[in-house]
Amino acid sequence: MKLAIKLARKAKGYFLKFKLHKIFNPIAGFLPAVGYLSKLSSWLEKTQKPSFDDFYVPDRVYDRRYSLYETIISNHLNDRFDYLEFGVAAGVSFKWWVNRVKDPGCRFYGFDTFTGLPEAWNVFKAGDMSADGSFPDVGGDSRVSFYKGVFQETLPGFLETFKNENQKVLHMDADIYSATLFALTQFGTRLRKNDIIIFDEFNVPMHEFRAFLDFTGSYYIKLKMIGAVNNYYQTAFIVEETPYQK
Ligand SMILES: C[S@@+](CC[C@H](N)C(=O)[O-])C[C@H]1O[C@@H](n2cnc3c(N)ncnc32)[C@H](O)[C@@H]1O
């Protein structure tokens, strides 16, 4: 064992000394993607599946996510909760929740640049998915507030006055790793038992899934899968245990 560690240290030294990135860089981007796909596959194999799970379906039908939301509302949500969406764009999913949930005590918070992705993701460039800077039309519903800018700038200030009293739904739909991880970690110690986290692109290995792994691994929060559609594209979890519960 000691010899293996010694050899690994030597190899690392040689890698840096001889600038071997010049050889490995062309495949270096591809290797982590395969690694995370493999991690996703093995994570799924050992994770207990919920009864609401359509795996395996041959095609992704995006509107299936609404049946996931309905399941969450029927089986896991109190009448009164706070809904926080990270990645609102033109408000398709956000408006669904506002129109579906009538309780006057619920609050809906939408976070986005509203000018598109702050960095490239997948085939999309920075600035794609833009809502032209405007907020979705929610018909003047006074339960709704929008926060414009990158989460990294808007969330810390928001959390200074946010009353962490009601059950929460965090809807992660920013797509990219950095944004998803940032938003999750801001809520890390504020999560309470029975809070819900929905991922809109959970099965994208290097982004939402990687953020999920890094977050749960760093905060020791136990999440239980409660529903999934489109081969785990849209996947929802409930907080089972958190060390931060008061
Ligand atoms: C896929 S779209 C959201 C789609 C929307 N939920 C729907 O159902 O139509 C992703 C959004 O995340 C936003 N986003 C990504 N990273 C962000 C960040 N760090 N701060 C703020 N918004 C971000 C983008 O501006 C984009 O509008």
What are the structure tokens assigned to 171, written together? 């809807």
SS3 111: strand
Evaluate if residue 246 carries a pLDDT over 80: no
Number of H helices and number of E strands within the chain? 8, 7
- Which of 66, 97, 113 best tests ligand 1's pocket when mutated (most atoms within 8 Å of CB)? 113
Q: What atom of ligand 1 comes closest to residue 130's alpha carbon?
A: 27
Average pLDDT of the residues in 169-173: 98
The whole-number pLDDT of residue 26 equals: 87
Average pLDDT of the residues in 114-123: 92
What residues line ligand 1, using a CB cutoff of 6 Å?
87-90, 92-93, 111-113, 116-118, 129, 150-151, 173-176, 179
The whole-number pLDDT of residue 217 equals: 94
Distance of CA 6 to the CA centre of its chain: 39
Q: Kindly report the average pLDDT of the chain as a whole number.
A: 96
pTM over 0.85: yes
